[in-house]
Structure 1
């Protein structure tokens, strides 16, 4: 035999042996960086379209989702299949930007609707084949394929955004089905040749932050078989809870006057020729008829955009991540889904930190989660503690382990109010004589100013004695309040604060706000039903504040602040509405680690 042929065959054999050895490397229950998968210049990148089961842009043709794929070159050169990390977003193709007048005007009376908003088209950005570079550097070297898609009505994906509607669940479901072997992939948005995901094992995990964290949950609620695990980070799990609170019209923090139709305009970057149809059918009909900024009531429109109602088919393992001081997508969004997953017996875990919006779990925890459920490695992650909480000023990569969240040692403790307005009253374990105190609404003063004021008639403030020991709060505080107004409608805002106010003396910018809550007294019977208030009549009702886990330091005082319009979150009616609180029938319930005994030792009265 010719020696050149021998050399060729020998080289081919060695090369094939090398190929055969290339694959994921698992150590200590985590997928390790594979050197052969780490050269980004050799990644195969391509885009395609996946056909869905819906037509939301009215053209009589099933919508297709625009998808991109990034995978190691070895998945083309050898018989190598890898699991997939999938991220979907309405933001990848660009957003509306800062358009003056795009938000609703909040300066009007309760029960009224503001004037028209300014609407401007979104100009799509981005070139094929790249939709996004997110997740690639983190996961491809560790033996995964990364897939992105633009959600319906954005970028080169067909359809219309619905901001929580069914197509935003079914769109990623169709992509996952394609990744699991379904024959619904195409080279083009219309027509085109079929494309197979031959390089996929059919096991898919999803992750993302904010809206991008909502879509993994949306996909999981369909029960699609290939979706094995999700890691939603600061997800919006209910658009009602994002834009309303207990019947009250409330903006997300930092976006005063935003509502669901504003977000629709912000993300609608799809085919310009289809936008008039989408705006007419979704924004100007479905949203205009359902969102109800006049009453703020929960209705069928909002129920259809509340993922806790859709969790029946869900089985994907859930690792939630959220910040306790996220006043945009508030921490209740993750907590309510975490509780529902636990009740359903779905594998579940929670990671909470003390900062604001966003913030993924530590990489080692995400890695173990995906390694278990996508690579199928028995690494024991399901036996780890259910909750990881970053304590104050600690490294977010080194959370404290909890058996569960809330801390299992937390017990509800009732605190009672005694008068002191317009200065401060007291918050005590002992029930006082009661009485009634009145505040006057004025949106001109923000919550921080009211909490710091020594004397003001624009809030009621009740303080514990100075803490002689730290107090650890874990879970949801609750207020039962009895009040009357001198008007037919009023905002109600409640803050739990730690005083004295630090004014930036310490590094943690949210040191003084423990938690917050808002409610519409007109919804004293139900968040689905509001009744105009009878001036002077007292109404008693309860609601939870945002979940929290925080240690209030020795030397501070815990304060309950009750006021009306919250300058950063609520509508701004004319000042002057009076709220009168019946102190004898108003109770603050705190979830205290160690229960009443621990709190009693801290607030010796």
Structure 2
């Protein structure tokens, strides 16, 4: 691992270290950048070919009478005759508006429009090792034409078209509109990578089954945009698709039809799952995936919640897709900023295996790497952990009720023995043995509600003192004043990045995971079924996937509330929810022994009723 050095000293070192001389193949071809079962840096990064092309798609999303064109900025080694290289591709909407990585890097160009700086370390590290890097502007963003449709068919088709061009199946053009010859310098093998929106489109393109896409590395990525903007029928934020479009695209005026669809077809008024959302749900097409998949996610990611990777992972497993997973305890964070040295090494070996065909054995290693405590990573044969089984426990005895109070999370999960109107607090413990949770919990409620609907919110809480990642501040990481370098640099694009460390704190409790369900969507997410006040209903609240160990001596809490002003826009309906504790259950995916018995029902309830309180509804953070 490179040593951490002050920025000024490191910049001097970068300036004086000689770059490797260009390497060329023998007349018969070959790969001079391969040594045994790994690629090695033999090409001069400063001498790399830097060029831009515009790949033509089959879409005309802006309805201007011409096919849309997607801008592709390429950095590739100057290989010489007979040598072809695969492509690492990051298709993103953020190259001009918001930046990539912890330092918010943007694309930069020279006076002729040729790229001089590509964000992140991928080009600096991999181009000298016999890879090309393609930084693709998603449809309707930066230098691409067309319309940004927020995870929809247009932007997926645009990224897919780039893979088609790299394999001779689509045309491309220069900035002046002249045709560009086929990409004869590439093998046609492509690996897509990216965090958040970038990784989401990698999932979407993989779900098309496009030939040539050999692997994807989705980091903190979406697999269903409905589940990103709707929590089982509950609205996360009104107008969210249009908000995201406006952030990343300056082509709103040219894209009236798409913008109108984002506003109306997304059905804010109902929260229903419809055709608009089906077109942005990649999971049903998992059987089409031909690429291997390396999933990375933070178990405390409150932006792209963990059900996004967990449900996609399950679908890929059912389809027999070669796969690997890394889970860490921070939030919406790139593994480059969690475990940098191990990440770069593992990613290098992954790309060598699937893009270069080098038999380095990475696919035979343990499939799962999980951070079990701050800075402590363990490996397992699979995820959820082998031997995980569902354990179901009842919530208590008798009945209890609570009336919507729009509690903040801090108030909702305060001392579970305290009297907090607006919640039910159930406790299991203190535990006599550690409890390992690995997978997706759920809460099955038998309820009677005196309104046509209300949101049902569930939280699992670990009550007990421990040192934990402080994921609610800076996503659980902090930037240091030292930096390390990963690859080669030029005056315009250095390979050096500030080091990052996990932010840890000792607390007496922590929310492990959460789940939300609109009660009127209990039959189907495709339509609402209003509740009758005189009837009991069975309603399941899915809880986001998690992996953690609750230590012996700690207490596991289940906190039930209704509206959740910090996470959703569900209104405070004033509903009172009666819960049949004896017939309602919590199901946990656990390994090893599990002895869970309710240690208390909701201590604040009196005669099955709670005092009603009200608080002002607030918009969630976007």
Same fold (TM over 0.5): yes
- The answer on whether the counterparts of 2:199 and 2:221 sit within 8 Å (CA) in structure 1 is yes
- The answer on whether the counterparts of 2:239 and 2:263 sit within 8 Å (CA) in structure 1 is no
Moved more, 525-534 or 125-134: 125-134
Distance in 2, Cα, partners of 1:348 & 1:509: 35
Q: Are positions 1:155 and 2:142 aligned together?
A: yes
Mapping 1:454-473, distance limit 5 Å:
454-473=418-437
Aligned-partner SS, 2:372: coil
**Aligned pair in 2 of structure 1 residues 16, 382: CA closer, same or farther (>3 Å)?**
closer
- Residue 66 of structure 1 deviates from its aligned partner by 0.6
Mapping 1:543-582, distance limit 5 Å:
543-571=541-569, 573-574=571-572, 576-582=574-580
- The answer on whether the counterparts of 1:452 and 1:501 sit within 8 Å (CA) in structure 2 is no
Considering fraction of residues, name the structure with more helix.
Answer: 1
- Residue 387 of structure 1 deviates from its aligned partner by 1.6
List structure 1 segments (4+ residues) > 6 angstroms apart after TM superposition.
14-22, 501-506
- The answer on whether the counterparts of 1:452 and 1:500 sit within 8 Å (CA) in structure 2 is no
**Aligned pair in 2 of structure 1 residues 583, 22: CA closer, same or farther (>3 Å)?**
closer
- Residue 165 of structure 1 deviates from its aligned partner by 1.5
Residue aligning to 2:293: 318
Residue aligning to 2:347: 366
Moved more, 360-369 or 143-152: 360-369
Residue aligning to 1:592: 590
Distance in 2, Cα, partners of 1:400 & 1:602: 31
Please, what TM-score do these two structures have when normalized by structure 2? 0.79
Moved more, 506-515 or 448-457: 506-515
Q: Are positions 1:42 and 2:47 aligned together?
A: yes
Distance in 2, Cα, partners of 1:328 & 1:505: 16
- Residue 52 of structure 1 deviates from its aligned partner by 1.1
Unaligned runs of 5+ in 1: 1-13, 97-123, 252-256, 419-433
Residue aligning to 2:510: 512
- The answer on whether the counterparts of 1:502 and 1:512 sit within 8 Å (CA) in structure 2 is no
Alpha-carbon displacement from aligned partner over 1:213-246 (angstroms, at most 9, x marks no partner): 1111122122221111111111111110001122
- The answer on whether the counterparts of 2:54 and 2:69 sit within 8 Å (CA) in structure 1 is yes
Residue aligning to 2:322: 347
1:133 to 113, 119, 123: 119
- Residue 509 of structure 1 deviates from its aligned partner by 8.0
**Aligned pair in 2 of structure 1 residues 183, 502: CA closer, same or farther (>3 Å)?**
closer
Residue aligning to 2:497: none
- The answer on whether the counterparts of 1:68 and 1:147 sit within 8 Å (CA) in structure 2 is yes
Distance in 1, Cα, partners of 2:69 & 2:398: 63
Moved more, 381-390 or 495-504: 495-504
Residue aligning to 1:308: 283
Which of the two has higher C-alpha Rg? 1
Distance in 2, Cα, partners of 1:574 & 1:78: 68
Q: Are positions 1:218 and 2:204 aligned together?
A: yes
Moved more, 402-411 or 152-161: 402-411
Residue aligning to 1:31: 39
Aligned-partner SS, 1:149: strand
Distance in 2, Cα, partners of 1:353 & 1:435: 39
1:167 to 124, 134, 154: 154
Distance in 2, Cα, partners of 1:19 & 1:602: 72
Distance in 2, Cα, partners of 1:221 & 1:348: 14
**Aligned pair in 2 of structure 1 residues 322, 467: CA closer, same or farther (>3 Å)?**
same
Alpha-carbon displacement from aligned partner over 1:464-492 (angstroms, at most 9, x marks no partner): 12123211111111111011222222111
Distance in 1, Cα, partners of 2:24 & 2:231: 62
Aligned-partner SS, 1:391: strand
2:384 to 406, 410, 433: 406
**Aligned pair in 2 of structure 1 residues 226, 366: CA closer, same or farther (>3 Å)?**
same
- The answer on whether the counterparts of 2:39 and 2:129 sit within 8 Å (CA) in structure 1 is yes
Q: Are positions 1:57 and 2:62 aligned together?
A: yes
Mapping 1:305-454, distance limit 5 Å:
305-360=280-335, 362-395=343-376, 399-418=377-396, 434-443=397-406, 445-453=407-415, 454=418
Distance in 1, Cα, partners of 2:466 & 2:563: 23
Unaligned runs of 5+ in 2: 1-22, 100-105, 337-342, 471-503, 600-622
Aligned-partner SS, 2:437: strand
Give the number of the structure with larger relative contact order, counting CA–CA contacts within 8 Å between residues 6 or more apart.
2
Aligned residues: CA RMSD: 2.8
Distance in 2, Cα, partners of 1:261 & 1:565: 24
Aligned-partner SS, 1:217: helix
**Aligned pair in 2 of structure 1 residues 44, 586: CA closer, same or farther (>3 Å)?**
same
Alpha-carbon displacement from aligned partner over 1:128-184 (angstroms, at most 9, x marks no partner): 222733321232122211111100000111100111211222111111121123451
Alpha-carbon displacement from aligned partner over 1:239-276 (angstroms, at most 9, x marks no partner): 1000112222125xxxxx56222112211134xxxx32
Residue aligning to 1:89: 92
Count matched residues.
Answer: 525
Distance in 2, Cα, partners of 1:486 & 1:585: 19
Mapping 1:278-297, distance limit 5 Å:
278=255, 280-284=256-260, 286-297=261-272
**Aligned pair in 2 of structure 1 residues 215, 26: CA closer, same or farther (>3 Å)?**
farther
Considering fraction of residues, name the structure with more strand.
Answer: 2
1:486 to 440, 443, 450: 450
